[in-house]
Amino acid sequence: MPEPVTYTRSAAAPKLCVVVDEAGGERAQAACAYARELGVPLYEPDALPAGFDVVLALTARRWELRVLRGDKALVGGHGVASELCALDTTSGPGRSLGQPLLKAVGIKRRNPYRPRVLDVTAGLGEDAWVLASVGCEVSACERNPVTYALLADGLRRAGESHPDIAGRIDLTRGEGVSVLRQTAKSDPALRPNVVYLDPMFPPGRKTAERKAMRVLRMVSGDDPDADRLLCAALEAATDRVVVKRPLHGPPLPGVAPTVCHKGKSLRFDVYPIR
């Protein structure tokens, strides 16, 4: 195991390291390389010193985030990972084209149209997976390197059993506003029909927010540039921009949505390109 490298971070970010747990060979080498890329220390579980808030652990099966200290509701328990095959895309409700997300991007029953979607806040990839499961080609972008590692690993594993769905998702790492500005300059024929945004919800909803999202918020922080994302998205999409928001939360500032598709606890604000 190589010597730990220096971890440089902002004052607000949790202290993080990489742990190789029950993995060997090429996967252990990949963990070592990624720790160096992140600029964080790498340890074996029995050599992990005290003082770390979060570990990005490589097990024999997957990458996962584990919270070691801080909010007691987040410490311990199952690690946070991208588990795309756990999503319901096969039952009657799971296949329904009446889901608010699918309606928001413009999918209709008895209509074969499937938009090209650019998701610039991919997170753990759940919405990108749902869109790909109904036939959309999805370009998924995630800027946080830790979240990106979880999603790339989740897509790899999900692709083993659902290669057709995984094959419709193109994952890249990048900063959303920059990606959108570059997209807006490209050939209109190659631009996405829909830009999908799912910025971090306003803080203070701990009882309603899932553990996974709270852990990701610890690692990646909030999205103070969400309004800039919306402005850039309106320049990049050819058909519409869709923004996921809490059901009773405010819309993103700047432009009022034309229509909202509501679920039980979420809504999808739609901004048509005129």
pLDDT in tens, 84-137: 999 977 666 656 677 999 999 999 988 999 999 999 999 999 999 999 999 999
Whether pLDDT at 7 is above 50: no
Three-state DSSP class for residue 66: strand
Higher pLDDT, 61 or 254: 61
- How many Å apart are CA 164 and CA 64, to the nearest integer? 24
| Closest-CA residue to 242 (of 95, 118, 94, 156) | 118
Q: Which residues, 6+ apart, have CB-to-CB distance to 47 below 8 Å?
A: 1
| CATH code of the region 84-272 | 3.40.50.150
User: Does 84-272 match 1-79 at the fold level?
Assistant: no
Kindly state the helix (H) or strand (E) to which residue 172 belongs, with its residue range.
strand 169-173
Distances in whole angstroms, Cα of residue 145 to Cα of each of 58, 226, 274: 15, 19, 35
Structure tokens at 232: 């850039």
| Closest-CA residue to 123 (of 181, 171, 59, 60) | 171
Terminal-to-terminal C-alpha distance of the chain: 57
| CATH code of the region 1-79 | 3.40.120
* Percent residues over pLDDT 90 in the chain: 60
Say if CB 134 and CB 107 are below 8 A apart. Answer: yes
For the chain, give every domain's residue range.
1-79, 84-272
Whether pLDDT at 64 is above 60: yes
The owner of tokens 């995630």 is: 142
* Percent residues over pLDDT 70 in the chain: 89
Q: Which residues, 6+ apart, have CB-to-CB distance to 274 below 8 Å?
A: none
Q: pLDDT digit string (tens) for 240-262?
A: 999 999 999 899 987 889 999 99
Whether pLDDT at 83 is above 90: yes
Q: pLDDT digit string (tens) for 130-151?
A: 999 999 999 999 999 999 999 9
| Closest-CA residue to 120 (of 198, 52, 192, 191) | 198
Indicate the pLDDT class of residue 5, thresholds 50, 70 and 90: very low
Say if CB 26 and CB 50 are below 8 A apart. Answer: no
